[in-house]
Amino acid sequence: MGQADFTYDFRSMNLLQQDPSQLLDNSDFVSQSILAMDADWAAQRLGEIRTLMERSSLYRRALAPTATLTGIIGMAAGVIGWTLPVKTSSGFCLYWMVTGILSLLVSILMIRRQAWKDNERFWSPPTRRFIQAICPALFAGACLGVIGTLHPQVSESYLWNLPALWMMFYGCALFSAGFFMPRGIKLFGSIYVLCGCISMFHFTTEALNQTLPRIVHAHIVMGSSFGILHFFYGVYLYLTDHH
């Protein structure tokens, strides 16, 4: 785009002093040409803005497929864990940590592929900020999982609180990432924190009443929270993508 494109003054256009609704009726060949020229320029400028915003943000176009696929992995893991069944405490922790790592790897690969397709850098400043924002909370969540894996003798109530705590930590990670990402990530994170709090309250009450369900049902809690929420967030992103 040449320099002239950026110095164009709309006030110099006589046709713009008129009501745009009457523009077509009153216009002659010249005014229509000017309008067409400026429409080209405006479309180009809109394209530039879109490209700049997409490049500087964290591969928003990859968010919808990533969230949807993570949701599918989560739901599948919930059903598999429940049917197999993975019922020891260390097995439960290990199983869900492996699922989490698998989801993370799939997400990174998809985002990397999107960056490669768009001829953009993967390790860009927004990506760096995003990773820095999610790391502390994810690390804390991972530590809880490692404790559960290494100590098979942990109580049942610890295991039942684990999904709730993971939801809270994951929600906090997403909320932090929301400072660098648009499109409702903060709200998505808040929903996780809220779900975590509700689960914690519910399962603590159940533990106190000694009415906790068998540990195998915790897979359903994990699958429905991490699977279904991600899946619906991905669908929401698909539906609102044109914005």
Partner 1 sequence: MKTETFSQINKVIHEKGRMAIMSTLAANPEMSFKELKESLGMTDGNVSVHIRTLQQAGYVIVSKTFVNNRPHTSYRMTDQGLQAFNEYIDLLEEIVRLNRDNQ
> What 3-state DSSP class applies to 124?
coil
**36 touches partner 1 by CB under 8 A:** yes
- 58, 126 contact by CB (below 8 A): yes
Looking at the Cβ atoms of 139 and 179, the one nearer to partner 1 is: 179
φ and ψ at residue 78, rounded to 5 degrees:
-60, -45
Instruction: Tell me the closest approach of the beta carbon of residue 157 to partner 1, in angstroms.
Output: 39
Per-residue interface string for the shown chain with partner 1, residues 177-216, x marking contact by CB under 8 A: --xx-x----------------------------------
Which tokens go with 56?
């500087």
> Which of 13-21, 72-80, 88-96, 155-163 is the region at the interface with partner 1 (rule: CB under 8 A)?
13-21
> Which of 34-42, 70-78, 90-98, 158-166 is the region at the interface with partner 1 (rule: CB under 8 A)?
34-42
Size of the site for partner 1 (CB under 8 A): 35
Q: CA–CA separation, 117 vs 190, rounded Å?
A: 32
Which tokens go with 156?
């049942």
Q: What is the DSSP string of 70-110?
A: HHHHHHHHHHHHHHTT--SHHHHHHHHHHHHHHHHHHHHHH
Task: Give contact residues for partner 1 (rule: CB under 8 A).
Answer: 6, 10-11, 13, 16-20, 23-24, 27, 32, 35-36, 38-39, 42-43, 45-46, 48-49, 52-57, 124-126, 179-180, 182
